[in-house]
Amino acid sequence: MTESKKKIIGIGEYIVDKNPTILVTLGLGSCVAVCLRDKKNLIGGLVHIMLPESRSSIKDEKIGKYADTGIKAIIDGIVDLGGNLKYVEAKIVGGAAMFKNSNNSLNVGSKNVEAVRKILKENDIKIIAEDTGGNRARSVEFNIANGDLKVKKVGGGEKVEITVI
Amino acid sequence: MSIYDEINEQKLDALKELGNIGAGNAATAISTMLNKKIDITVPSTEIIPISELWKEFSDPEDVTAGSMVEIGGELHGAILFLLGTQETKKILELLMLPRPEDLTQIDEMTSSAIGEVGNIMCSSYISAISNFTGLNIHSLPPKITVDMLTAIVSESSLMVTEGSDFVILIRTDISIEEYEGNVKGFLIYLSDEKNIRKLLKTLGMGTNND
């Protein structure tokens, strides 16, 4: 088995890479990790978005922060590396409302998920798996080799539970 | 101009001192409440790109109890009180409250007790800032969560900065008398760039642009 290298993606950042790579991002609260993968050419990308829409009024903004610009960046990146949109599938994780008695974060989380769904649909990219909403934060590891998305979430017993979607 | 170019060593020191005063107040309040000696240290004051927040903690996935108290009035920001699961249980015990088996499955009463401890810590911090700067500020009701450490800090930062790229983080380590060695407790002052400029200005350290 080839050793996959792990690359960590911070809030508002994105990476597109070829197999073998595992893309990692930590601490998704209301943020959403959008994972796209060309299953034929084994090229994939992950963007850790914070907000649904970019604000064009502000210059030098990081494009990975927003659903609209971030997803576009990943799509372009996959094409640049020789991928074909025809084979691209999506998995999305995040959009939680972590804090009790807070309406603010609840709105941001669900709005982010909504925006992501809409943009993927516009680009004819199918969401094949997702773990969104709820009130738990998540960390993810996205394996470009097989498309496995490992989701870590605090479960019972004060432990971090791992599921693969 | 980026906040990086504006804030020099001297200004960071001023913020660190502010953190010392705020955290000192918080420690006194909790110490009185629990009748235990509490030590605090302010090891760092930093301007951190939000994208690199995850690097701040040695174990980013630690299960932690967090209370966040936002600052309202003439200054916006938040104080975040973070405490490891064992330490939180110990404090609940010291307050003669039932010790929960599993902090991730707590009832309303335990959750509000944790929120109240957080509220006392954070509000003391905020009133110290108010006294020191003369700014008319107050604390908003606490928000509580038990989750992964990095996620709590990231999410709070996002709520405070509303999506900007940098956050100012004044971190305070807390240790309680009965614990020897490593106590997993932090108080964090979170602010966006605009409000930190305002704060510095009241301390007589405004920038040329002001």
A9-62 pLDDT, tens digit each: 998 999 999 989 999 999 898 999 999 999 999 999 999 999 888 876 555 568
Closest Cα of chain A to B112: distance in Å?
A: 10
Least confident of A51-60, B34-43, B47-56, B121-130: A51-60
Predicted confidence (pLDDT) at residue A106 exceeds the cutoff of 90: no
The one catalytic residue in A9, A28, A31, A36 is A31
Is there a contact between A157 and B104 if contact means CB atoms under 8 Å apart? yes
**Residue entry with tokens 């800090």:** B153
In chain A, residues with a C-beta closer than 8 Å to the C-beta of B150 are 26-27, 139
Which tens digit of pLDDT belongs to each residue from B51-82? Answer: 888 888 778 888 889 999 999 999 999 989 88
3-state SS, residue A91: strand
Model pLDDT, residue A72? 92
Tokens of B187: 């108080």
Compute how many other C-beta atoms are within 10 angstroms of the C-beta atom of residue A33: 29
Sign of CA dihedral A151, A70, B57, B90: negative
CB within 8 Å: B155 and A104 = no
Tens-place pLDDT, residues B83-113: 888 888 888 888 888 888 888 888 888 888 8
Instruction: Say which range, A86-95, B89-98, B134-143, has the weakest mean pLDDT.
Output: B89-98
Chain B residues interacting with chain A (CB cutoff of 8 angstroms): 49-54, 60-61, 63, 68, 85, 102-105, 111, 141, 143-148, 150-155, 158-159, 163, 165
The domain spans of chain A are: 5-164
Q: What is the pLDDT of residues A57-81, one digit of tens each?
A: 555 568 888 999 999 999 999 999 9
Is the CB of A160 inside 8 Å of chain B's CB atoms?
yes
Q: Is the pLDDT of residue B152 over 80?
A: yes
E strands, A4-159, in order: 5-9, 14-18, 21-28, 32-38, 43-49, 88-94, 126-132, 138-143, 149-154
State how far residue A14 is from chain B, nearest Cα, in angstroms. Answer: 10
**Would the pLDDT of B46 be above 70?**
yes
The percent of residues above 90 in pLDDT, for chain B, comes to 8
**Contact list, A160 vs chain B (CB under 8 Å):** 61, 63, 148
How confident is the model over B161-173, as pLDDT tens digits? Answer: 877 778 877 877 7
Asked which of A108-112, B44-48, B84-88, B126-130 is least confident by mean pLDDT, the reply is B44-48
Q: Do A62 and B51 touch (CB under 8 A)?
A: yes
pTM (two decimals): 0.87
Query: Angle at the Cα of A100 (from A94 to A104), degrees rounded to 5?
Result: 65
A1 has pLDDT over 60 = no
Q: For residue A62, which of B163, B193, B55, B192 has the smallest C-alpha distance?
A: B163
Instruction: Tell me if B54 and A28 make a contact (CB, 8 A cut-off).
Output: no
Write the residue in A50, A51, A158 that is nearest to B104 by C-beta.
A158
- Decide if A154 touches B, using CB distance below 8 A: yes
In CATH, the architecture of A5-164 is 2-Layer Sandwich (3.30)
User: Closest to A100 (Cβ–Cβ): which among B144, B154, B159?
Assistant: B144
A35 catalytic per annotation: no
- Per-residue pLDDT, B189: 86
Which of A100-114, B39-53, B104-118, B138-152 is predicted least confidently? A100-114
Mean pLDDT value across residues B116-120: 88
Average pLDDT, chain B: 83
Query: Which residue of chain B comes nearest to A156, CA vs CA?
Result: B104
